[in-house]
């Protein structure tokens, strides 16, 4: 498994899906955006992103590690007070820290983004002129990726960051296995994914979504996808992720064996593919519905 050893050289330190995996989730989501959503997004993002949420989706990790952005570091996860695999239990009111968590961040940034979309439609915002708006879109694009990573919804060992394991002969943490090693294993990747355009492996996931080739039907992923109820939906997604920590992440892990060789990776790859695909489709649906809200209000008023 030579490619696994190569992957260790560019393993990032950020506690999130790898930077390039976040980019790819954004590029996947773009395949499901409505044309009007794309046009609105182009006005919200700063010009350097060329209107692409894929190019912007990884920004939040780097920003969280700056002096200016350190306040947002804890927004990337929610630490459940449970103990997988014996017990998995996530409660928003109990587990969201005082300074915020991924659920409250999705709620707050969605609210800001709603106003920004209205400004674009009113003609008062264009060309990424409002940094607060661009940041909100970048955070939403990032956090809908984070919340679907199982260890971003688990408090045990700080989301697996203090759970030492071996993968492909490398000593690492369980969190890194799910952030980085498993996506790279799934794609048989020997180098980082593009941060400019969608990579073939992720194009394949898009195709599988369209053809309904997952063991869960994609329409089920959108059972809660209404941006007017962000806490309800984000908590539901977090609970789904948290459940995986009992059903697989901790129930199958063996800290004394090589996870790349003992069957753990083989079982984890389908879960990672599923969760990445959920993140992309949910992000696209979230943005499409946000942009469409005002149009729907106008229709409702006409009908009245």
Residue-level pLDDT at 132? 98
pLDDT of residue 163 exceeding 70, the answer is yes
Residue-level pLDDT at 13? 39
Both structure tokens of 34: 């409505």
pLDDT band of 293, cuts 50, 70, 90:
confident
pLDDT of residue 7 exceeding 70, the answer is no
Mean pLDDT of the chain: 92
Omega before 13 within 30 of 0, i.e. cis: no
Q: What is the chain's Cα-based Rg? A: 19
Question: In Å, how far from its chain's centre is CA 248?
Answer: 19
Residue-level pLDDT at 170? 95
Residue-level pLDDT at 301? 38
pLDDT band of 17, cuts 50, 70, 90:
confident
Q: State pLDDT tens for residues 215-257.
A: 999 999 999 999 999 999 999 999 999 999 999 999 999 999 9
Q: How many CB atoms lie within 10 A of CB 160?
A: 26
Residue-level pLDDT at 295? 61
Residue-level pLDDT at 241? 98
Q: pTM here?
A: 0.92
Q: State pLDDT tens for residues 87-128.
A: 999 999 999 999 999 999 999 999 999 999 999 999 999 999
Kindly state the percentage of the chain with pLDDT values over 70: 91
Q: State pLDDT tens for residues 182-205.
A: 999 999 999 999 999 999 999 999
Q: State pLDDT tens for residues 245-290.
A: 999 999 999 999 999 999 999 999 999 999 999 999 999 999 999 9
pLDDT band of 16, cuts 50, 70, 90:
low
Q: State pLDDT tens for residues 123-152.
A: 999 999 999 999 999 999 999 999 999 999
Q: Which of 22, 78, 105 is nearest to 275 (CA)?
A: 22
Residue-level pLDDT at 4? 38
pLDDT of residue 14 exceeding 90, the answer is no
Q: Which of 182, 169, 165, 166 is nearest to 1 (CA)?
A: 169
pLDDT band of 75, cuts 50, 70, 90:
very high
Question: In Å, how far from its chain's centre is CA 299?
Answer: 32
The answer to whether 78 and 107 are in contact (CB under 8 A) is no
In the chain, the domains with their CATH numbers are 2-296 (1.10.575.10)
Residue-level pLDDT at 243? 98
């Amino acid at each position: 498994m030579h490619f696994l050893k190569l992957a260790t050289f560019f393993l990032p330190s950020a506690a999130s899906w790898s930077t390039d995996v976040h980019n790819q989730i954004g590029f996947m989501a773009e395949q499901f955006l409505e044309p009007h959503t794309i046009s609105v997004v182009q006005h919200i993002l700063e010009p350097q992103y060329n209107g692409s949420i894929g190019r912007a989706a990884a920004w939040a990790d780097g920003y969280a590690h700056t002096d200016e952005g350190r306040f947002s570091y804890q927004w990337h996860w929610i630490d459940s007070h449970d103990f997988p695999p014996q017990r998995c239990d996530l409660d928003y009111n109990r587990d969201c820290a005082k300074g915020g968590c991924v659920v409250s961040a999705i709620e707050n940034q969605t609210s800001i983004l709603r106003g920004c979309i209205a400004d674009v439609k009113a003609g008062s915002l264009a060309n990424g002129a409002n940094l607060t708006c661009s940041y909100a879109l970048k955070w939403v694009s990032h956090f809908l990726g984070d919340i679907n990573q199982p260890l971003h919804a688990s408090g045990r060992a700080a989301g697996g960051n203090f759970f030492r394991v071996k993968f492909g002969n490398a000593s690492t943490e369980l969190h890194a296995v799910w952030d980085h090693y498993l996506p790279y294993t799934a794609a048989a990747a020997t180098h980082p994914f593009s941060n400019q355009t969608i990579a073939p492996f992720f194009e394949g996931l898009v195709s599988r979504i369209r053809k309904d080739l997952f063991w869960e039907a994609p329409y089920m992923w959108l059972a809660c996808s209404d941006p007017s109820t962000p806490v309800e939906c984000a908590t539901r997604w977090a609970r789904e992720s948290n459940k995986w920590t009992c059903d697989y992440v901790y129930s199958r892990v063996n800290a004394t064996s090589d996870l790349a060789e003992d069957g753990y990776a083989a079982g984890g790859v389908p879960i990672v593919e599923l969760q990445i695909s959920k993140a992309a489709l949910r992000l696209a649906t979230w943005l499409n519905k946000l942009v469409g809200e005002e149009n729907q209000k106008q229709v409702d008023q006409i009908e009245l």
